[in-house]
Amino acid sequence: MGPALLAIDVGNTNTLAGVYQGDELLHEWRISTERAATADELAAYHDQILRLRGGSLDELDAMIVSSVVPTLTNGYRQLALKYLDRPAIVIGPGIRTGMSLAIDNPLELGADRLVNAVAAYRRYGGPCVVVDLGTATTLDVVSGSGVYLGGVIAPGIETSLDALTTRAARLVKVDLIPPERVIGRSTVESMRSGLILGTVAMIDGLCQQIRDQLEGEATIIATGGLSPMVASLSTQIDQTDAMLTLDGLRMIYEMNMPTASRHDLVEEET
């Protein structure tokens, strides 16, 4: 079955975590990203949730982390050393991903975006586009031969909602529910139309332009918490895959796992 792997994706708003045994996802959960959390606090958060699922940190063999929050990157490094008694694999320079990057400065690329691109190409082939609906709405493009070509970054739906309600005194928070019509008959309907249908229109327009630029077909995969809702309204999105980032972390771990663990995995598979 392979080692028990804890995969952690630290986003600006939420942190997604999952435990894999081989390629089987046993547990997954989401917590709020607390930038000031210490390694001990992070361990407590995850251990508590694992114990509710019948497990614990003590039972884990390895950890891999992608993070866009530098303070928490260090926190998870410390967690692995202190509670798993081994270093974490952290997505960044020197980590094998099997993907070439055709961009000006590879160091600028967010770890989660690279992980998504790797997972999408390995699962769906190329060319493909990953639409990740998080704090930012990002589109990441992979060629037919598996080269990361670049992408698009725009404000996420909830980020846009926060900006509207913070800067416009008469606008209030609304639930992110698709409106029945484009032309809103109230402020709430109008906001939902702009936030949700506006985001869908942006994504569909960008995906069509990307397909045109690639001079051919591309598979569009949506991931992130709001992906099912957006995909249901989109004319361009082909697949939704909520666990794409965690699966990408597992795949990259298998490319970088310690030699002894890799040998054990091969022995068990044979």
From the list 23, 58, 104, 112, the catalytic residue is 112
Is 112 labeled as catalytic in the residue annotation?
Answer: yes
* Beta pairing partners, 7: 18, 64
Within the chain, strands assigned E span 4-10, 14-21, 24-32, 62-67, 89-90, 100-101, 128-133, 136-142, 147-155, 219-223, 239-240
DSSP 4: E
Does residue 82 contact residue 39 with C-beta atoms inside 8 Å? yes
Which of 42, 111, 45, 96 is closest to 74 using CA atoms?
42
Max CA pair span of the chain: 65
Token reading at 192: 């939902």
Q: Where are the beta strands (DSSP E) in 33-117?
A: 62-67, 89-90, 100-101
* Encoded tokens for 116: 């998504």
| Burial class of residue 164 in the structure, from the number of CB atoms within 10 Å of its CB (0-12 exposed, 13-18 middle, 19+ buried) | middle
The full DSSP string for 144-157 is: TTSEEEEEEEEE-H
State the catalytic residues: 112
